[in-house]
Structure 1
């Protein structure tokens, strides 16, 4: 199935404008024209989000994604392979159905959390109970037996489901300030009470399960309309589900007012044992310096509350589309161009750390790596990563980028290396020049980062297309550069705690057996 390009005329006009700025280099002109006039971004996004779906490490969908990418690369005449680096707990999500049965009937909006064991086909039916206010840990231990046979609500209730920007637009200043004071006060009371139980929110599900609870309900609100963060379960045998704020709040109020809601949780899933985990690697071999490398970098995996569209479907399709464009327009690069679509970034940069650990010969001869992983927006920040001479080559590579793309980008040199965050940090820790193409957030942190709303419709294709052009030109320039990039490291800023300059981060080994007892 092909997605029609609704704005074909506009993109052709854009291509004409951009090419006019780049008369001096026909390769750059052709890269821009191909990326705008023959873009495959919409089709790629549809296939990876709607057809393949979420890409949780250890699931069949993740394996399907790796296989799909290899076949897509091959259809473009690009060599590609799936490279095994470890194993993970295999798990497959099925149907989640959560229904309130008393005091009235209503289907509730929520989902089972990742790696949670399946219920029976009939699910679990029980009354809900909320956490008590306690004076100390001993009082909480005395209360614990009361959860036996109950489904426990363990998240803080919210006093409003409206995000702050909505209050700022419509509320009076007095009303807005009042709400914030109430919210802060309730949050402090909740946190203080949680501390008095003797457990934190990560430990509590297991404690409740051991005490006889038959289900856990959370609501991890992400400060937006209808949006929750969706992560993994911490129970071993009983269901853990996350409910959207509105339904969670209703259950909480009903329980508090003595109406004793009863719900059914049916959450079907499959345990698949240990399954292999992969990185998908694509390659265009260099002609003059084949043992020097440029890596286009994006993590392929996602959480599975939505379909992983902006975390990191957009980074993935930028790198794939840039590779397609380069193969068509610049098929004989001077240096070898790789694309790394990494597995299990979400659990600690595991795929890229494994690649760095397993391929020291590539890392030692890395000209540059360009990583994109913070949403659907146009690139607006480029940091030198702590490499003292990064200004010299990055500004040289940026020079031919069209002004309307380049002028949006704020550069920082020499910058500082990352200590996590995304896969460029794996290369920087090894002393190799990895750079983050950091984008405008489009409410990323609230609405799409690890949420149930990270779906195809949130993609801004004009911005993503600009990122393809930027990536393709940077790659072309890095490949053609007669010089090998300097790895000289800048003196890092002073650590306020020690009064000494910060140390350069050191490489960390990946988790190669994830979730496997």
Structure 2
């Protein structure tokens, strides 16, 4: 047996069993049923077919909430509800780009979420290329006057998506950095790992006090083409066009459903995913898969006739893609009771198989319960690990900041950023067996924690 497994599995021997043998038997049953086949694929297929793309604050996202309320009610969950909040939304209308000189040709691009529009006939200018965002930062203020800045560093493929945070800064922060240098427009190589002509969108963040300039992402092959042409040393000019608009006071919301606890219903185990998506594909991997996985896990527990000691709450967060707005709204609504949130976990990394589990535990009892969870997940290919930082999913960040512990089921994301935020994010990319393995992991975790009295949050002496 591997040392990590020994370390985790012997933890439960040093203190009292954190859960009953009956509860462990139920967890094994849930795991077995999920692996035979869950409803996860049917759920995500229904969502992406009947609703399709679900841009935050749009009528499509509103239809997704109607779909979720109807689906959850029909499945017989308790306390099904929509918790609305207001937001400023953004709409994409038209976009495009083309090389003007030296070799005229069209480019495959997409506007970054939140980009301001160009004039009706677009914006034409010379392009200044930078290998990295750091290179752009180093040029003097005003040195890019009347030019379009381009940042071309390429995201690297990893199993855990760990390179995303670094390369994503070119998308989120780059437009304002370029504008501060005098640029009138901004282009990036897509934050993605594919080699297809599907550009990747995603939110940008304009800085206050800096001009807002239109910003677009090129597909990776088109970025390669732009760089090849630039290497010839000839004047490179392009025309970009963005037609977009802002929608103030738009509506979004979080959809909630529960299996209510039999003894301590006020104590809550949170699982969930975000309901919104970008508008290019149908939002199957991001995050229809997470919706299907977590809803199917809760359905598995309910349909088995199990009544956990604590409440298991499914949260389908709204407006995640544009700044965790639903997550912040959830934190604000439940601020007074966050101390009774036992633990949380979100599925928001596509539909790849889970390969590792980590937990944010600060008690011996929590360690022992985590050891039991890890023991039951090992037969389906999931190993225990340790993290320096709490995780669990983006929509849990506000809860983590408020002290809520998390458990993270790490999915294999080596292909995730081939599809992420593109028109190629469609349901045919998902594998039902992989979704079922995720469902098994979420059901085992949620059931065992909810059927225990264990706390993860008390600080050790």
Alignment TM-score, normalising by the size of structure 1: 0.67
What's the RMSD between the two structures over aligned residues?
A: 4.2
Q: Counterparts of 1:84-163 in structure 2 under 5 Å? A: 84=84, 86-100=85-99, 106-119=105-118, 123-124=121-122, 126-130=124-128, 144-145=144-145, 147=146, 152-156=148-152
Q: CA deviation at 1:364?
A: 2.6
Q: CA deviation at 1:398?
A: 5.0
Q: CA deviation at 1:111?
A: 0.7
User: Is residue 246 from structure 1 mapped to residue 218 from structure 2 by the alignment?
Assistant: no
Q: Distance in 2 between matches of 1:277 and 1:441?
A: 28
Relative to structure 1, the CA distance from residue 56 to residue 425 in structure 2 (aligned partners, 3 Å threshold; closer, same or farther) is same
Relative to structure 1, the CA distance from residue 421 to residue 30 in structure 2 (aligned partners, 3 Å threshold; closer, same or farther) is closer
Q: Distance in 2 between matches of 1:241 and 1:37?
A: 44
Relative to structure 1, the CA distance from residue 395 to residue 93 in structure 2 (aligned partners, 3 Å threshold; closer, same or farther) is same
Q: Distance in 1 between matches of 2:456 and 2:125?
A: 64
Q: Distance in 2 between matches of 1:138 and 1:360?
A: 42
**1:96 aligned counterpart, secondary structure:** strand
Give the match for residue 189 of structure 2. Answer: 219
Give the match for residue 373 of structure 1. Answer: 348
Give the match for residue 477 of structure 1. Answer: 448
Q: Distance in 2 between matches of 1:270 and 1:367?
A: 41
Give the match for residue 392 of structure 1. Answer: 368
**1:61 aligned counterpart, secondary structure:** helix
Q: Distance in 1 between matches of 2:138 and 2:68?
A: 55
Give the match for residue 351 of structure 1. Answer: 326
Give the match for residue 437 of structure 2. Answer: 466
Maintained 8 Å contact 2:356/2:384: yes
Q: Distance in 2 between matches of 1:35 and 1:138?
A: 53
**2:262 aligned counterpart, secondary structure:** coil
Q: CA deviation at 1:323?
A: 1.8
Relative to structure 1, the CA distance from residue 329 to residue 386 in structure 2 (aligned partners, 3 Å threshold; closer, same or farther) is closer
Give the match for residue 75 of structure 2. Answer: 76
User: Is residue 288 from structure 1 mapped to residue 272 from structure 2 by the alignment?
Assistant: no
Relative to structure 1, the CA distance from residue 428 to residue 254 in structure 2 (aligned partners, 3 Å threshold; closer, same or farther) is closer
**2:370 aligned counterpart, secondary structure:** helix
Q: CA deviation at 1:474?
A: 2.6
Maintained 8 Å contact 2:97/2:239: yes
Q: Distance in 2 between matches of 1:88 and 1:419?
A: 26
Maintained 8 Å contact 1:372/1:438: no
Higher relative contact order (CA 8 A, sep 6+): 2
1:197-231 Cα offsets, whole Å, 9 max, x none, are xxx844344347x77x4x43332453542376533
Q: Counterparts of 1:181-196 in structure 2 under 5 Å? A: none
Q: Distance in 1 between matches of 2:117 and 2:137?
A: 32
Q: Distance in 2 between matches of 1:475 and 1:164?
A: 31
Relative to structure 1, the CA distance from residue 447 to residue 426 in structure 2 (aligned partners, 3 Å threshold; closer, same or farther) is same
Q: Distance in 1 between matches of 2:116 and 2:263?
A: 53
Q: CA deviation at 1:353?
A: 4.1
Maintained 8 Å contact 2:357/2:382: no
Give the match for residue 18 of structure 2. Answer: none
**2:202 aligned counterpart, secondary structure:** coil
**1:154 aligned counterpart, secondary structure:** strand
Relative to structure 1, the CA distance from residue 44 to residue 378 in structure 2 (aligned partners, 3 Å threshold; closer, same or farther) is same
Maintained 8 Å contact 1:367/1:433: yes
Q: CA deviation at 1:272?
A: 1.5
Which one is further off, 226-235 or 373-382? 226-235
Alignment TM-score, normalising by the size of structure 2: 0.74
Maintained 8 Å contact 1:230/1:452: no
Runs of 4+ in 1 over 6 A off after TM superposition: 22-26, 135-139
Q: Distance in 2 between matches of 1:369 and 1:420?
A: 7
Q: CA deviation at 1:28?
A: 5.0
Q: CA deviation at 1:385?
A: 0.6
Relative to structure 1, the CA distance from residue 484 to residue 410 in structure 2 (aligned partners, 3 Å threshold; closer, same or farther) is closer
Q: CA deviation at 1:437?
A: 1.7
Q: CA deviation at 1:319?
A: 0.7
Stretches of structure 2 lacking an aligned partner (at least 5 in a row): 1-20, 159-169
Relative to structure 1, the CA distance from residue 437 to residue 164 in structure 2 (aligned partners, 3 Å threshold; closer, same or farther) is closer
Q: CA deviation at 1:303?
A: 4.9
Q: CA deviation at 1:339?
A: 0.5
